[in-house]
Structure 1
Amino acid sequence: MSVAAYCIFCCRQIGTSGPATKKHLPWNDISKYNSICTDLRRFVFITYEVLSLKKLLQIDTQAIQQEKLKSYVYIRTTSLNPSEYQGITYQARKEIHKAVRKILETEAKIFRRPFNGQFSTFDGEDHECALWLLLKRTQSEDKEVRLQAVQDLANNHHWHDYQYGTVAQTCDQRTAIGLARSKDIDLRFFLPPPPLPKIKSDYSMEDELRLLLVSLPQTGLDPCVQYFTSLALHESSQTLAAQRGGLWCFGGNGLPYCETLSKIPSETVELFCLQALVQHSKVSSHCDKIEAKGGLQLLQRIYQLRKDSAKIQRNIIRIIGNMALDERLHSSIVHAGWVSVLAEVMKSPHVIQSSHASRALANLDRDTVQEKYPDGVYVLHPQYRSSQPIRADVLFVHGLLGAAFKTWRQQDIDRCLDKNGSEGEEDYSQCWPKTWLASDCPALRIISVEYDTHLSDWKATCPVEAHR
């Protein structure tokens, strides 16, 4: 634009100054003026953009204030607009929390207990204050106060994700176990299992299990367990197995040996290795070895990879239940992420899976359960924490070739459906003592016991039992 104006100015001078004279145009000056104009245009444009961005950029100070009330940052956030929380449900919940806070203050005055000052001056919403109050009470030295606080936490089903996450990250081991043993618990109360360490690329789960079995002592076990374990690890030749009469035989199911275990499906090998680990986990000193060798993390990895195998998962939870008999290992079991897994399995519709998880959690719960349940002893009722006093114990013992759960099924499911049609599946009971007896007599503690009866293998495949 400046070049065009300069040309017009020169033309006017030529047209009004008489005869034209040849004159050299100052092109250097024209280039200089053009550069200056370009810089001015850039400066004006940048200034305009800065002013526009300044108007658009706003910092929500309410968001900063909200973050002061939280200890952690979560992916799922909630709206900070108070107008969105003015519904009837929110107002009712707010009034309930106010009432609870007043009750706690009154209780502290009546019983002359100190009311925590930091919570009385807590700068936040009332429902946030109630959350932290409950967490504080779960660590009380008074057992009744502690148990009631855990129950109050478990009864909350209206919280936001970040509130459940706050409880999951701040509650102690005892509270987490209590929540897992609460009925209809929200699984958001629990952190997922921690990331597992990487394994060597040339190692498989089968190799890891073999290494774990090799590291365990071979003393203090049943002679047949020693025989099968050593045979699995060191003598995979079919000829040697035949000479010793060796079969894989756990629970009455036999599997002949091949020349190498690698020819057997990996899932089958893992299953038999886990069944050997079940026997090892019955010995307290061997449980220490399993924990020291990273067995809890290895079992967690196999559990996540074999979600489609109920037998493998059941044997893994059985091992965890045996290890939970030793209170020294409780912290390691919790830190390995097994509480969240057991809480999820407790919700399983399959009575065998849920009963194994219930036994493991009962052995972990030293706050409300005085007894310890060894391998093969399962509590069918109550499987959750309950204020109902126990009036009597009922023990169910199956017969020969029976089982702790299968013996007490209503009848074969296919026959039941053939007779009753589609309605039969809803009324069908996988274990009637747990379903019917517990409903009719809630004050009973119902226990089922399992033991091995290998009538079909009476002439035992294990040579050390030839005398039976």
Structure 2
Amino acid sequence: MGGCVFITYEVITLDQAVTIDTQAILQEKQKSYIYLTPVTKKEHETLGLTYKARKELHKAARKFIEFSSRVLHHPLDERLSHLDADPHECSLWLLLKKTQSTIWTERLQAVQDLAQNHYWQDYQYRTAAQAIDHRTAIGLARTPQVDLRFFLPPPALPEVEDFLIEDGLRQLLASLPQSEVDQCVQYFTSLALRESSQSLASQRGGLWCFGGNGLPYAQSLTTIPSEKVESFCLQALVQHSKVLSHCDHIVANGGLHLLQRVYQLRRDSQKIQRNIVRIIGNLALNESLHTAIVQSGWVSVLAEMVQSPHIMQASHAARALANLDRDAEVQKYQDGVYILNPHCRTNQPIKADVLFVHGLLGAAFKTWRQKDCELTEDEESAGVQEDYTECWPKSWLASDCPNLRILSVEYDTHLSDWRAKCPAENQRKSLAYRSGELLKKLKAAGVGDRPVIWVAHSMGGLLVKKMLLDATKDPELSPLVKNTKGVLFYSVPHYGTFMAEYSVNVRYLLFPSIEVKELCRGLMFFFFSLSISIIFYTEL
């Protein structure tokens, strides 16, 4: 009898232990249904008044939009004729309508007002992004501190199995015209294809392969980093993008989408990204390609890049956007002309242009950086490095003088032809040739339309003087000479330098470049014939 009682007790206890309380499940289940709660008559009347007020506001907004459309002599958009939105959404559509105005100043102001909205909901930014046209999107991208949610992300690229970036770049290069191009374009193209073929051979078993998997040792010797091969290919594409007729071929052969894919895959390489955006900036010089560039999603990429804290990245993006912005810009910035200030549209009048020209072994950005220094751990912890700038004309001069347009030009220079990037361009290294090329680029950028101040270092000073002398002989370039108000020379060898003579004396060892030969003593004395205000710093 006692055993039966014990068994019964255990069964009841076990049943209670494994029983699941369904109250929590029922509670969660109730949330999946919509329950209508009744409201009182007073609350119903209040809601009715609110609804009527909203309707009246909608009617007033519609009347205002219709009136503005009549004033602007534009028919009311189809999407506005059926508008049923909140008042704040009506203001959005009104701004979008103003961005299509035929009055230039009103159109630019509407873009600026649109960009000043920083506290919208995500859906409002997405609505605007889907509604704006290409011209407005470019204008927004060139507006300071614009919210990046105004831009649609680049279209999704189709997935490709076993896709290699270098293969895509190699195929694009191989599809471009190779005839009727200068020797440097041919040189860079052949160099890129050769490096790419070596990399491909190493991946397939090395250059020494006798029918098997190849020799591992040989494979280790011939393996080339893929990023290096991509850099070679992109440098070749940069050269092709300088040729106007080749730009159409790059776009027609899928170059924009390929570059977009490379950009997304190489976000950790600033050098590769700069080369890509440099190509986009060159393509943007051709206005017939603007639609293709915008449709491939480059505006959102450039809008993000122009806000980069890295000056080189931001300047490359600013140049590309300026070449795309035909609504606010007349000038075009060709390859080698970089905008340091302003990067965006500005309401402040530009009073003068300041041009920075680097010297031997220099560059458009690195020449004007702050002096490199090694900081101690205490200095790093104290934040001393925060004051360092990689380009003081952008960081300091633009801050002190915001009404200046600051440009920096770039050209390749070498001490010796042993290290020349393109051995076939010897004729391009002379001051005469470079002067003519830079004068064309500066004229396209509108340099000479307002007062000009030159800042030149080393060989750049000789180049500036050569350009000014050449400009006096060309009536179309005479405004550049008339508007030149002064030149600042940093360590410019006006009377030549012993380095040039030494290099010539050992020409069989150093193989001196044309740039160095033109620095011989007494070569540039006749440049002082121009009566221009000059300031010298640490002259040689």
Q: TM-score, normalised by structure 2?
A: 0.60
- Counterpart of 1:124 in structure 2 is 85
- Counterpart of 1:328 in structure 2 is 288
- Counterpart of 2:344 in structure 1 is 384
Quick one: which of 145, 150, 153 aligns to 1:189?
A: 150
Check whether the contact 2:72–2:102 (CA below 8 A) recurs between aligned residues: no
Distance in 2, matches of 1:271 and 1:261, equals 20
- Counterpart of 1:211 in structure 2 is 171
Check whether the contact 2:112–2:143 (CA below 8 A) recurs between aligned residues: yes
Quick one: which of 122, 128, 133 aligns to 1:167?
A: 128
Distance in 1, matches of 2:69 and 2:243, equals 51
Quick one: which of 96, 99, 107 aligns to 1:146?
A: 107
- Counterpart of 2:251 in structure 1 is 291
**For residue 393 of structure 2, what is the amino acid of its counterpart?**
P
- Counterpart of 2:469 in structure 1 is none
- Counterpart of 1:263 in structure 2 is 223
Identify the structure with bigger relative contact order (alpha carbons < 8 Å, sequence gap 6+): 1
Check whether the contact 1:237–1:259 (CA below 8 A) recurs between aligned residues: no
Quick one: which of 292, 307, 320 aligns to 1:347?
A: 307
Answer yes or no: is 1:358 the counterpart of 2:300. no
Check whether the contact 2:336–2:409 (CA below 8 A) recurs between aligned residues: yes
Distance in 2, matches of 1:461 and 1:125, equals 61
Answer yes or no: is 1:198 the counterpart of 2:150. no
**For residue 171 of structure 1, what is the amino acid of its counterpart?**
I
Distance in 2, matches of 1:233 and 1:127, equals 56
Check whether the contact 2:340–2:406 (CA below 8 A) recurs between aligned residues: yes
Check whether the contact 2:188–2:239 (CA below 8 A) recurs between aligned residues: no
Point out where structure 2 has 5 or more consecutive residues left out of the alignment. Answer: 1-28, 38-45, 199-217, 428-513, 515-540
Distance in 1, matches of 2:195 and 2:308, equals 39
Answer yes or no: is 1:411 the counterpart of 2:395. no
- Counterpart of 1:17 in structure 2 is none
- Counterpart of 2:334 in structure 1 is 374
- Counterpart of 1:227 in structure 2 is 187
Q: Which range moved further: 395-404 or 214-223?
A: 214-223
Check whether the contact 2:280–2:320 (CA below 8 A) recurs between aligned residues: yes
3-state SS in 1 of match to 2:374: helix
Check whether the contact 1:194–1:337 (CA below 8 A) recurs between aligned residues: yes
Shift of 1:228: 3.4
Answer yes or no: is 1:448 the counterpart of 2:448. no
How far does the alpha carbon of each residue in 1:357-392 deviate from its partner, in whole angstroms, 9 at most, with x for none?
A: 000000000011110000110111111111111111
Shift of 1:424: 2.2
Check whether the contact 1:416–1:425 (CA below 8 A) recurs between aligned residues: no
Q: Does the C-alpha gap of structure 1 residues 297 and 305 become closer, same or farther in structure 2, counting only changes over 3 Å?
A: same
Check whether the contact 2:192–2:229 (CA below 8 A) recurs between aligned residues: no
Residues 392-403 of structure 1 aligned to structure 2 (within 5 Å): 392-403=352-363
How far does the alpha carbon of each residue in 1:178-212 deviate from its partner, in whole angstroms, 9 at most, with x for none?
A: 0000111111000111011233x344111111110
**For residue 127 of structure 1, what is the amino acid of its counterpart?**
H
Distance in 2, matches of 1:174 and 1:150, equals 10
RMSD: 3.8
Shift of 1:457: 3.7
- Counterpart of 1:42 in structure 2 is none
How far does the alpha carbon of each residue in 1:149-177 deviate from its partner, in whole angstroms, 9 at most, with x for none?
A: 10011000111000000011110000000
Q: Which range moved further: 120-129 or 351-360?
A: 120-129
Shift of 1:265: 1.0
Distance in 2, matches of 1:172 and 1:117, equals 14
Shift of 1:124: 2.6
Larger Cα-atom Rg: 1
Shift of 1:142: 1.2
Q: Does the C-alpha gap of structure 1 residues 280 and 412 become closer, same or farther in structure 2, counting only changes over 3 Å?
A: same
- Counterpart of 2:484 in structure 1 is none
